[in-house]
Every structure is written in C-alpha cells, then in structure tokens.
Chain A
Amino acid sequence: MSVGTRPRPTTRMIASTADDRVRAHQRAVTRRSRRMAVQHVLWLGPALFAIAAVVLYPIVEMVRTSFSDVSLSGVIRGFNGVDNYADLFRRPEFTAILGQTALWVSTVVIGTIALAWPLALLLNAHFPGRRAVRYAVLIPWATALSVSALIFQWMFNYTYGVVNTTLIQLGLIASPIDWFGDSTSAWTMLIILGIFVSVPFSTYIILGALQSIPDELYEAARLDGAGPIRSWMSITLPMARTSTFLAVVLNLIGVFNSFALIWVLTGGGPGRSTQTTFTFIYTLAFGSQAMGESAALSVVNILLLGGVIAIVLVSNRKALEDLR
C-alpha cells in the first residue's frame, strides 16, 4: 500500500466542512440570541406583563363590552352591534355632557398655565421667604384630591362657609349664594378648585426649565440693552417652550381624567349640570346599571383624549422633537 491512500479532500468535502462551520456558528448565534431573549424576559417581563394585563387588557375588555348585550348583573349575553353606542348618542343629556367636559378641560388647562407661568417666574426669582412659598405650593399637590374637594365643599357651605360669610361681611352680597344650587355657580366653584390643584405641578415643571437657563444669557441680553420684557420674550419663553408644552399635555390628560374633584364637590349636580364624561361613565354603570353604554362611553372617551393629544402633538412638531 502506498502512502497516498488518504483521500484528497474533494470540493464536496470542503463545502460540507464550511457548511458545518456555518451551522455551528448559526447554532451559537441562536443559542446566544435565545439566551439574550431569556435575559430580556427576565429583566423586562414582570414590568411589561403588569402593564399588558392591567393597563392594556381592560381596554380590550371595554371594547368587547361596548359591542355586547350586557345583563343587569353584568353578564355578557352576546354581540349586539352598535346598539350601545346608538343608545348612548340618543340620550338627551349626551351632547350637554360633552359640552360640559370641553368647558371643564379648556378652562382649567388655560387657567392653570396662565397662573403657573407667573408663579414659576416668581419662585425662580430671589426674595426673602421664597423657600416658604415653595413649600406652600407643594401642599395642594401632595394633598389627596378628595380632601381638597371636601375643604372646598365646607368653604362654599351655604350658611357657615367662609366664602359666603366673608362676602356678606364685606357687603358684596346681601344674602348667601347657594353655590351648589345652580350650574353657573357650581361650575365657578369647580373650575376654581380644578385650577387650584393643577397649578402646583405645572409650576414645578416650568420652574424646572427656568432653573436650567444659564444666567450668562440674561447678562448678555442686558449688555445688549434688552429690557426685562424683551429678555423674557427672546430668552425665557423659547427656553421654557418644551416644558410649557409638556405641562399642557400632562394637564390635558389629568384634567380630562379628573373624577374625585367633581364627584366629591358637586357629585355632578345640581341635576346633571356638572357631569363630565367620566362621572357619567360611573353614573351609567352604577346608577343606571347600563354597563354596555358605560363601556361605549369609555371607548368614546379614549378616542376623544387620543384625538385631542394627537392634535396638540402634531400642531407642536417642534416641541415634540425637543422632547425626544
């Protein structure tokens, strides 16, 4: 036997070893990516599961309920198309409640931003006692909304409330105002409360932006001969634009979603004149036992809020890019 029996590697064999190597590499990659996937699940899984199961799933459940025939005890008896939506839109109070919601959200958000700006400027300036004012601003924010609403209920009490008794002592009114008795005064009271509890958070957001503006900018503007109004217009406002935008968006969500304030202060009354869509969702589900309609209104609400936020975001592309 000669030496040359060892077979020369054929092209076929070369190909197969290369294949093996590729396959081995692929296996390693899959193993690594599988290990990576396990890592992702371990680190992110619990948080994402909680959000999926308790934040996102209820939306699915609400949509399902809104297209279903629901018994008084809450059991789904089958698909009933858009009946719930039709019933809801046919309700005589429906348009009024949409209008009231728009009134509530727009007045409170505009009022809040209009007051938060000067307040943030004040808290950013240096003066003796600033710390005390900053602490005071925290109080309405830290207090439960239900508690603040209870205080307002007492302050606007017909006979003993500090508002009526002070107005009478000052001679501004002859007899007490029944604040809870008609829609205009009830709304006045609610909107004051709404702005009162929303201002602190917005103020702190804008204050955060003001504090990040370097003093040199103002110094430079002053050397260039700019007065306080001019430097506010061309330095402060543009620099705090993103934060103001953020405050508007967060307020829109918060005020639109407010339930405790209205429910505790007026209970939606007198009549239904201070009901918003959210208190009405509650009334429909637990007052009128109309779960299907209540779910339909919830879906309408999500679309409304989503729509409003989309409009605000699109109309402020620039601010949105800054947020990233």
Chain B
Amino acid sequence: MTSSRLKPLLLMGAGVVVFCVIVLPYFVMTMTALKPDDEVYRLPPSVVPSDWSWGNFVQVWSEAPLATWLGNSLVVTVTATAITLLIATPAAYHLARREFRFKRLIMIVLLLGQMITPTLVIIGLYREFLALGLVNTLTALIIVNVAFHVSFVVWIMTSYFRSIPAEVAEAAHLDGCSDIGALWRVILPMAAPGVVTAAVFTFVSVWNEYIVALLLIKDRDLLPVAVGITSFQGQYTVQWQFLFAAALIAVLPIIVMFSTIEGRLVGGLTAGATK
C-alpha cells in the first residue's frame, strides 16, 4: 500500500533530477546571455543576473553579422528541405507501390546513403566541389544537404506510404487521377504526419549542420549561423554574453519546431527502421 503511494513521488523526484541536469547548461547559457559585461566576469559568479541586460539581444546584432548568418541558414535550410522532399517523395511512393527487379539494390543504396555522413567523405566532397567551382557558395551547401538527407526521407516516407491501403490510390485512378495526381491530391494529405516529421527532421539537421559549412565556406559573410557563432571564438576576447545571445536567437526556432512534433518523434524515428 505504502509502496503504491510512494512510487509516483520517487519517479517525480527522479524526473526533477533529470530535468535539472539536462536544462542546467542551457540555463547557464540563457543567464549568461542576460548579464552585463562586468557581471559575466565577476567572482563568485551570480546564478541569475543582478541586472537583466535584455539589451544584449539588441546589441549582438551590431557585434556580429548575425542577420546575415541567420539569412544564410534560412536560405540553405528552407531550399534544401524543400528540394529534398520534392525528390524524395515520388521515389518513396514508387518504392512503396511497385515491385521491380532492382528494387532490392535501390533499397541497399538508400541504406548506404543513410550510413554515410558528410564527415565520413568530407575530403572527397571538398575536392568534388572545388573541381565544380562551387566552394564558397550557398548552392554547394544546398546540394550537399539535399543529397545527404534524401535517403533518410525516402526511407521514412516509404513506410508511411506502405501504411496507406492500395485501394485508396486505385479509387483515385478510377476517378481519373494520374499517378502524380493521386499522389498529390489523395495520398499526400493522408501521409501528412509523415511529411511533417520528415520535413522537421531535415530542417533541424540542416540548420545545425557544421562540418560541410566549415569546410566549403571561406567567406565569413556566407556562413550559416551554426558555424558563424563559433567564429566569435577566434575574435579577440570572447564576449560570452553576446555569443550566447546569438546562440539563443539561433536555437529558438529549432526548439519550437521540435516541440510541435514531440508526440510524433517516438513513432516517426523508428518507423523507417523497424517496420
């Protein structure tokens, strides 16, 4: 009897500990971002700012080309996510619907595509884009990010399409829809949760991408924000409050996106792999 009353309390205690440990670094970041310059370097350090400097968020725009970096990230991420969905969705639909000879081989290529990361082939990528004359362009970042997310999106979307009965597409055909028409008007709306999950994952992953941008972009004004903020480090002394204010601005949209699909994260992740 006592154990059944004690259990939720123990679990809650564990929950509180986990919550604090996970949030601590981001709490430190937020508090530092809100401290005035002299308080950042004061001993012993204060937990919360004694003087809340919301102005840091305004001043950081003039301390670094933050608007430019955010713009670069936005262009690369939105374009890459859109193109990835545009070429991965038909491929996934075709793989889910048709049986043909080289299907197995294609599935293996897709699996390989998921296992190979940009980091693994970074030297080859660099040489390829150098030869193409695309080093130091946002186009290069878009192309690389599309290619490295296509297989993941095809994989996830295929399993969503498989879960839609074939009769649905047949009914659409009877009503005079072409393959594309059936996919666009009937199937995609039904697979909307899958599309959203795939889009959010791709968006977040492209937004946070680091090594490709570090390698392919030389011009500080062409950097995406994930790499841009680390270039605060090289500059004279690091002004941590500005660095973290910039980082917070860059992280916020991603966290908002992720929490909108929190419920679907659990199923969405394993859908491609275990079904």
Partners in one complex: yes
Chain A residues near B (Cβ < 8 Å):
36, 39-40, 42-44, 46-48, 50-62, 65, 74, 119, 122, 125-130, 132-148, 150-152, 154-155, 159-160, 162, 165, 169, 196, 201, 204-205, 207-209, 211, 242-243, 246, 253, 257-260, 263-264, 278, 281-282, 285-286, 291, 294-295, 298, 301-302, 305, 309, 322-323
Query: Across the two chains, which residue of chain B brings its CB closest to A36?
Result: B100
Residues A53 and B147 in contact, CB atoms below 8 Å apart: yes
Residues B270 and A205 in contact, CB atoms below 8 Å apart: yes
CA distance A319 to B120 in the complex (A): 26
Query: Across the two chains, which residue of chain B brings its CB closest to A267?
Result: B233
**Is residue B64 contacting chain A, with contact meaning CB distance below 8 A?**
no
* CB contact between A137 and one of B22, B100, B147 (< 8 Å): that residue: B22
CA distance A281 to B257 in the complex (A): 34
Residues B120 and A47 in contact, CB atoms below 8 Å apart: no
A-B contact pairs, 12 of them (CB 8 A): A51-B147, A61-B127, A62-B123, A138-B258, A144-B226, A146-B210, A147-B229, A162-B45, A165-B43, A263-B214, A264-B230, A291-B123
**Is residue B182 contacting chain A, with contact meaning CB distance below 8 A?**
no
Chain B, 227-275, CB within 8 A of any chain A CB: 227, 229-230, 233, 240, 243-244, 247, 250-251, 254-255, 257-259, 262, 265-267, 269-270, 273-274
Residues B270 and A44 in contact, CB atoms below 8 Å apart: no
Residues B87 and A133 in contact, CB atoms below 8 Å apart: no
Task: Report B95 CB to chain A, min CB distance, Å.
Answer: 7
Residues B14 and A122 in contact, CB atoms below 8 Å apart: yes
Stretch from B51-59, B109-117, B162-170, B186-194 at the A interface:
B109-117
Residues B32 and A154 in contact, CB atoms below 8 Å apart: yes
Contacts of A62 in B (CB 8 A): 121, 123-124, 127
CA distance A57 to B117 in the complex (A): 13
**Is residue B82 contacting chain A, with contact meaning CB distance below 8 A?**
no
**Which interface class (under 10, 10 to 19, 20 to 34, 35 or more) fits B?**
35 or more
Contacts of B44 in A (CB 8 A): 165, 169
Chain B residues near A (Cβ < 8 Å):
8, 11-12, 14-16, 18-19, 22-23, 25-26, 28-29, 32, 40-41, 43-45, 87-88, 90-91, 93-95, 100, 106, 109-110, 112-113, 115-117, 119-128, 130, 143-144, 146-148, 150-151, 154, 204, 207-208, 210-211, 214-215, 226-227, 229-230, 233, 240, 243-244, 247, 250-251, 254-255, 257-259, 262, 265-267, 269-270, 273-274
* CB contact between B113 and one of A44, A55, A148, A309 (< 8 Å): that residue: A55
Q: A54 with B148: in contact, given A126-B8, A127-B11, A257-B117 (CB under 8 Å)?
A: yes
* CB contact between B226 and one of A147, A151, A294 (< 8 Å): that residue: A147
* CB contact between A211 and one of B16, B116, B125, B266 (< 8 Å): that residue: B266
Task: Report A226 CB to chain B, min CB distance, Å.
Answer: 16
Q: A50 with B210: in contact, given A128-B12, A148-B25 (CB under 8 Å)?
A: no
Secondary structure at the B interface, as helix, strand, loop or mixed, is helix
Task: Report A260 CB to chain B, min CB distance, Å.
Answer: 4
Query: Across the two chains, which residue of chain A brings its CB closest to B95?
Result: A44
* CB contact between B251 and one of A53, A122, A142 (< 8 Å): that residue: A142
Contacts of B254 in A (CB 8 A): 142-144
Task: Report A177 CB to chain B, min CB distance, Å.
Answer: 16
* CB contact between A253 and one of B117, B143, B207, B269 (< 8 Å): that residue: B117
CA distance A36 to B174 in the complex (A): 21
Task: Report B2 CB to chain A, min CB distance, Å.
Answer: 16
CA distance A165 to B15 in the complex (A): 26
Among B14, B23, B25, B43, residue most surrounded by chain A Cβ atoms (within 10 Å) = B25
Contacts of B233 in A (CB 8 A): 150, 264
Q: A323 with B273: in contact, given A54-B144, A61-B128, A281-B123 (CB under 8 Å)?
A: yes
Contacts of B16 in A (CB 8 A): 129
Residues A204 and B269 in contact, CB atoms below 8 Å apart: yes
Residues B150 and A47 in contact, CB atoms below 8 Å apart: yes
CA distance A51 to B146 in the complex (A): 9
Task: Report A254 CB to chain B, min CB distance, Å.
Answer: 8
Residues B87 and A50 in contact, CB atoms below 8 Å apart: yes
Contacts of B90 in A (CB 8 A): 42-44, 46-47
Query: Across the two chains, which residue of chain A brings its CB closest to B226?
Result: A144
Residues B204 and A142 in contact, CB atoms below 8 Å apart: yes
Contacts of B22 in A (CB 8 A): 136-137, 139-140
Residues B91 and A47 in contact, CB atoms below 8 Å apart: yes
Residues B262 and A135 in contact, CB atoms below 8 Å apart: yes
Residues A51 and B93 in contact, CB atoms below 8 Å apart: no
Residues A160 and B8 in contact, CB atoms below 8 Å apart: no
CA distance A128 to B13 in the complex (A): 10
CA distance A257 to B115 in the complex (A): 10
